[in-house]
Chain A
Amino acid sequence: MSKYRNLLIGTAIAALAAMPAYAGKLGLGRAALPEEVAAWNHDISPDGTGLPVGSGSVEDGEMIFSDNCAICHGEFAEGVDNWPKLAGGMDTLNHKDPLKTVGSYWPYLSTTYDYVRRSMPFGAAQSMSDDDVYAIVAYILYSNDLVDDDFVLSNENFLDVEMPNADGFIVDDRETSEKAFWAEPCMENCKDEVKITMRAAVLDVTPDEAGGEATEGAAPAAAEEPAKEEPKMEEAKAEEPAAEQTAALDPALVAEGEKVFKKCKACHQIGEGAKNKTGPELNNIIGRTLGGHDGFKYSKTMAEMGEGGLVWNDETLAEFLSKPKDYVKKTKMSFAGLKKDDDIAAVIAYLKSFSQ
C-alpha cells in the first residue's frame, strides 16, 4: 500500500478542495435485509470464505461441462476458436507466448469457483446449482491433470488442492524495478541512428476502415431505406410455408426442443424481443435464406450459400445442426453439433414454434 501513498497524498489534497463539505450521515437508503445480502454476496476469497456447502465429482463434471461449457471451451477444456483455453500450458509462463489457463496460471482455486458460479455459462449466468459448479471445477482440475478421475471436490477439501502457479505472483514493483523511468529526459543527440525494425503495413492485420463492423450501426448514412426493404420482403415470403408446418407441431417435441435449445441460448435469442447477439436471432428461421438476417454479419460461406438460393428448412437445419462446420465451412458458429437425431428433431420443432 505504501508504494503509492506518497503520490496519493498530493492528489488527496486536491480532491478535498473539490469535494463538497460533508459530515455525518444523511440517513439515505435503507437497511439491507439478510436475504438480500445473501442473494448478492457470492464472492469467494482465497481462504475459502464464501464457499457454499456442497460437492461435485469429476465424473459428473465431465457431463455437465460437455453440456454447458464445451461449446466454447472444448470437450477437454482445450478451447474452441478464440474462446479461452482452460487446460494445459504447464511450464510455459517463461516461454514466448505463454499459455495461461486455470492449471498453468490461476493462483487460487477460489477464483474458478467464484467465476463459474457468477458468470458462466456465457448467456445463462447464475443458472447452475452449487454442486454442479463444484463438479465443473473438479472437471477443469482433472483436465489440467491436477486431480484423478475419481476425485470429488467439496467445500471441505477445497483448500487441499494445490494450484501450480500459487507462488507465481509479485505485487506491483514498478516504483523500484522501473525507477530509471523517473529521470530527466534527453533532448539532443539521443541516439546515433534510427532504423525501422518493424512495419504494421507489412504485417497487415488492421481492419479495413470501410468494412468495419462499427459502420453498420453507427453510420446513419449507411442505413438507407431501400436496403432495409428487401430482406423484409423475403421474410414475408417465408411466412406461408412456416405457418403450415406450425399447425402440425407436436407440443411434447417442442417442449423437448426447448430443453435442447439451452445449448444454443448462449449465442442465440428467440421469442418476443429477440435480438442478434453472438449469433443471429432465430424467430422465423424456417424459410429464411442462409445468411439472410438483416443486420447480422455472417461468415462468407454462409452468405454465399444463401446467395446460391439455400433456405433453412428441415433438411438444411438437420444437416447444419449435426455438424455445423462440415455443412458450412468456416461458419462463425463454434458449436460442435448435436450428436443425437432426436435432439435435432426436437430443436427444429422448437424453432418452428417461433416461425409463424
Chain B
Amino acid sequence: MTVRFKGKSPSRRAFLKGTLASTAGAIAGAGAASAATPDPLITEKQSWAMGLGDGVDATPYGLPIKYESDVIRRNVEWLTADTISSINFTPIHALDGTITPQGCAFERHHSGAIELRKEDYRLMINGMVDQELVFTYEDLERFPRENRTFFLECAANTGMEWAGAQLNGAQFTHGMIHNMEYTGVSLRTLLEEAGLNAAGDLKDKWVYVEGADASSNGRSIPMEKALDDCMIAFKANGEALRKEHGYPARLVVPGWEGNMWVKWIRRIEVMDGPVESREETSKYTDTLANGTSRKWTWVMDAKSVVTSPSPQSPIKHGHGPLVITGLAWSGRGAISRVDVSKDGGKTWETARLANPGQPMALTRFYLDTEWNGEEMFLQARAMDETGYVQPTKHQLREVRGENSIYHNNCVQTWWVKSNGEAENVEVS
C-alpha cells in the first residue's frame, strides 16, 4: 500500500471560515476590559443551575462532551487509495499536556484494524532460541510488568511537507504521533524465557517481529535494541489497548519509527540477519539526491512543533497575554531545551518545559508571552540530551535532497496574521 506525499490538484474549501468569523469581534479590545452591561450568564438563572444533569448510570464508559466533538482524528483522503490501508492524524492542535487519549490517537493500518480476542491470542518465540515457545495472553500477564511512557511517531510524519508547505494544520503536518503510558512485559524478559544461549554471540543477531493481521507488517530489529528497552504492551494509559492500536498486545520500540511497533504481535523470531521485509526496503527508506537510499534509519530525530496558535487553533482572544504552546520529542533521549522564534528564526527565546524531558516521550513546552496583533512567523526548535538541534528544512534538504518522504524533522513555521489567523508557510 502506498501513501502518496505529493499534492493533488487544488480544490476549493472553506477551512477557516467558521473560526475567523468568531475571531473578528473578539480581537478588538485589549487588556482588562470593563463590562458595559451585566452578563446575563451571571444575572439570569440558567437551566443547568436549576434542573438536573445525567445520573451515574447514563454513561458506563464516557466519551468527550458533545461540545468537544471537533477534537477527532482526521484523515486526508487523497493520501491513500483507500481507508483500510491508510493513516489518520491526532488532533494535537486541540490537546494539551503530553498523554494522548487513546480515542483520538492516530491510526496507521496496512490491512485494517482487526478484532482479535484475548482468548484467540498467541505469541510465538522461535528461531535461534533454546526453547521455541508459545504464550497465551494470560501467560503475558504473569511476567513481571513495567510501566513506561513513550511517543510513537510514524516515520512519515511531516512527510507531505518535504516539497514545501502543504497541509494547513498541525494535526495534518505533525499529527502522526501519540504518547502513551504503556504497561507490559519487557521483550528481554520474554527472550530470556526462551533462552538465548542458542543464538551465540548476540552482537550480530536480530529479532524479526510480525503481527497477526493480513499485512503482518514484519520488521527486523537488532538484538541490541530488542534487549535494551522494547516491550510487549497490553495496556495503554491504564486501560486495554484499542483495537486500532493492536489489541490485545503490541510491540513498543522506544524512540524508533512507528512502523516497527508491530500491532497484534504474534511472532518473534531470533535470526542471524535482517529479513529485509517490504516495510524495511521498499518503504521507510530515504532516497537521497544521488539516487542511493538510506536504510535502517530507525531513530526518530529531535523535533518539535507549536500546536497553538496554529492554523486550526487561531488566536481568538484580544491583545495582551498569549500562551504559545507545543510539543517536543527525540528518539535519542530526553528533550533538554526548546526555543521559540516569533520572527521566522531571526531571534529565539527559550521556552518553559512543563516538566523535565523524559527519554523518548513527548515534552510539553510553553512560552507565556504578550501579543498585540503583530504578525508572527512562529517556529519551535528542539534540542535533546545528546546535543542534537532540530534542523531547518533547508539544512535537511542540503544533506538529503528533495526526494525524501520519511524522517522529516524540520522546523515548522506558522504565519500568524494580525487577525489571529495562522497559516502553514515555508520561509527563507
Interface residues of A (CB under 8 A from B): 1, 4-5, 7-8, 10-12, 14-15, 18-22, 25-26, 28-32, 36-37, 40-41, 43-47, 72, 81-85, 93-98, 100, 102, 105-108, 110-111, 114-115, 118-119, 122-123, 125-126, 168-174, 177-178, 180-191, 193-201, 203-210, 212-215, 218-222, 267, 277-278, 334
Stretch of B8-16, B29-37, B365-373 with 4 or more beta carbons under 8 angstroms from chain A: B8-16
Known A-B contacts A22-B144, A170-B293; the reply to A108 vs B276 at CB < 8 A is yes
Are the CB atoms of A106 and B281 closer together than 8 Å? yes
Chain B, 248-299, CB within 8 A of any chain A CB: 254-255, 266-267, 269, 271, 273, 275-278, 281-282, 285, 287, 289-299
Which residues on B sit within 8 Å (CB–CB) of A204? Answer: 10-13
Are the CB atoms of A181 and B391 closer together than 8 Å? yes
Which residues on A sit within 8 Å (CB–CB) of B254? Answer: 11
Which residues on A sit within 8 Å (CB–CB) of B425? Answer: 196-200
How near does chain A come to B267, taking the closest CB pair, in angstroms? Answer: 5
Per-residue A-contact encoding for B338-377, CB less than 8 Å = 1, 0 else? 0100011111110000000001100000000000000001
Within the complex, which residue of B15, B228, B388, B391 is in contact with A206, where a contact is CB–CB below 8 Å? B15
Chain B, 84-106, CB within 8 A of any chain A CB: 84-85, 88, 104
How near does chain B come to A121, taking the closest CB pair, in angstroms? Answer: 10
CA separation between A43 and B426, bound complex, in Å? Answer: 43
Are the CB atoms of B124 and A194 closer together than 8 Å? no
Are the CB atoms of A7 and B333 closer together than 8 Å? yes
How near does chain B come to A296, taking the closest CB pair, in angstroms? Answer: 11
Are the CB atoms of B377 and A194 closer together than 8 Å? yes
CA separation between A62 and B130, bound complex, in Å? Answer: 44
How near does chain A come to B251, taking the closest CB pair, in angstroms? Answer: 16
Stretch of B40-48, B167-175, B314-322 with 4 or more beta carbons under 8 angstroms from chain A: B167-175
Q: What residue in chain A is nearest B130 (Cβ atoms)?
A: A25
Per-residue A-contact encoding for B197-227, CB less than 8 Å = 1, 0 else? 0000001100010100011101000101100
Interface centre among A32, A95, A102 (most CB of B within 10 A): A32
CA separation between A308 and B193, bound complex, in Å? Answer: 65
Stretch of B20-28, B50-58, B64-72, B233-241 with 4 or more beta carbons under 8 angstroms from chain A: B64-72
Known A122-B84, A207-B75; further 18 A-B contacts with Cβ < 8 A: A18-B148, A26-B143, A31-B134, A36-B124, A72-B81, A96-B402, A98-B403, A110-B276, A114-B277, A119-B216, A178-B391, A182-B388, A184-B389, A196-B426, A206-B169, A206-B311, A207-B172, A219-B69
CA separation between A193 and B428, bound complex, in Å? Answer: 8
**Does B116 reach chain A (CB closer than 8 Å)?**
no
Known A-B contacts A122-B85, A207-B77; the reply to A172 vs B14 at CB < 8 A is no
Which residues on A sit within 8 Å (CB–CB) of B225? Answer: 8
**Does B323 reach chain A (CB closer than 8 Å)?**
no
How near does chain B come to A35, taking the closest CB pair, in angstroms? Answer: 12
Q: What residue in chain B is nearest A10 (Cβ atoms)?
A: B333
Known A-B contacts A29-B193, A171-B294, A194-B345; the reply to A203 vs B166 at CB < 8 A is yes
CA separation between A94 and B389, bound complex, in Å? Answer: 28
Which residues on A sit within 8 Å (CB–CB) of B333? Answer: 7, 10-11
Which residues on B sit within 8 Å (CB–CB) of A213? Answer: 74-75, 77, 83
The contact sample of 17 A-B pairs, CB cut-off 8 A, is A11-B254, A15-B229, A22-B189, A31-B133, A31-B134, A32-B126, A45-B275, A82-B78, A105-B282, A122-B84, A172-B296, A190-B346, A191-B345, A198-B164, A199-B425, A200-B311, A203-B165
Are the CB atoms of A84 and B2 closer together than 8 Å? yes
Known A-B contacts A32-B124, A204-B12; the reply to A190 vs B381 at CB < 8 A is no
Are the CB atoms of B167 and A194 closer together than 8 Å? no
Are the CB atoms of B381 and A185 closer together than 8 Å? yes
Are the CB atoms of B78 and A25 closer together than 8 Å? no
Within the complex, which residue of B168, B275, B343 is in contact with A194, where a contact is CB–CB below 8 Å? B343
How near does chain A come to B79, taking the closest CB pair, in angstroms? Answer: 8
**Does B153 reach chain A (CB closer than 8 Å)?**
no
How near does chain B come to A188, taking the closest CB pair, in angstroms? Answer: 5
CA separation between A185 and B387, bound complex, in Å? Answer: 10
Are the CB atoms of B381 and A207 closer together than 8 Å? no
CA separation between A14 and B385, bound complex, in Å? Answer: 14
Are the CB atoms of A94 and B290 closer together than 8 Å? yes
**Does B332 reach chain A (CB closer than 8 Å)?**
yes
CA separation between A193 and B345, bound complex, in Å? Answer: 9
Which residues on B sit within 8 Å (CB–CB) of A123? Answer: 214
Which residues on A sit within 8 Å (CB–CB) of B82? Answer: 267, 278
Are the CB atoms of B224 and A8 closer together than 8 Å? yes
Are the CB atoms of B72 and A172 closer together than 8 Å? no
Are the CB atoms of A12 and B229 closer together than 8 Å? yes
Q: What residue in chain A is nearest B225 (Cβ atoms)?
A: A8
Are the CB atoms of B359 and A11 closer together than 8 Å? yes
Which residues on A sit within 8 Å (CB–CB) of B186? Answer: 19
Are the CB atoms of B142 and A26 closer together than 8 Å? yes
Which residues on A sit within 8 Å (CB–CB) of B247? Answer: none
Which residues on B sit within 8 Å (CB–CB) of A19? Answer: 146, 186, 188
CA separation between A10 and B294, bound complex, in Å? Answer: 25
How near does chain B come to A215, taking the closest CB pair, in angstroms? Answer: 7
CA separation between A204 and B76, bound complex, in Å? Answer: 12
Are the CB atoms of A28 and B143 closer together than 8 Å? yes
Are the CB atoms of A186 and B348 closer together than 8 Å? yes
Known A-B contacts A11-B360, A93-B293, A96-B402; the reply to A219 vs B299 at CB < 8 A is no
Are the CB atoms of B88 and A214 closer together than 8 Å? yes
CA separation between A93 and B282, bound complex, in Å? Answer: 12
Are the CB atoms of B276 and A221 closer together than 8 Å? no
Within the complex, which residue of A11, A122, A168, A180 is in contact with B229, where a contact is CB–CB below 8 Å? A11
Are the CB atoms of A334 and B12 closer together than 8 Å? no
Which residues on A sit within 8 Å (CB–CB) of B77? Answer: 207, 213
Are the CB atoms of A169 and B295 closer together than 8 Å? yes
Chain B, 411-428, CB within 8 A of any chain A CB: 415, 423-428
Q: What residue in chain A is nearest B349 (Cβ atoms)?
A: A187
CA separation between A220 and B70, bound complex, in Å? Answer: 10
Are the CB atoms of A41 and B131 closer together than 8 Å? no
Q: What residue in chain A is nearest B285 (Cβ atoms)?
A: A169
Known A-B contacts A4-B299, A119-B216; the reply to A209 vs B15 at CB < 8 A is yes
CA separation between A119 and B193, bound complex, in Å? Answer: 30
CA separation between A115 and B11, bound complex, in Å? Answer: 36
Are the CB atoms of B282 and A118 closer together than 8 Å? no
Known A-B contacts A169-B285, A204-B13, A222-B69; the reply to A194 vs B75 at CB < 8 A is no
Are the CB atoms of B426 and A11 closer together than 8 Å? no
Q: What residue in chain A is nearest B394 (Cβ atoms)?
A: A197
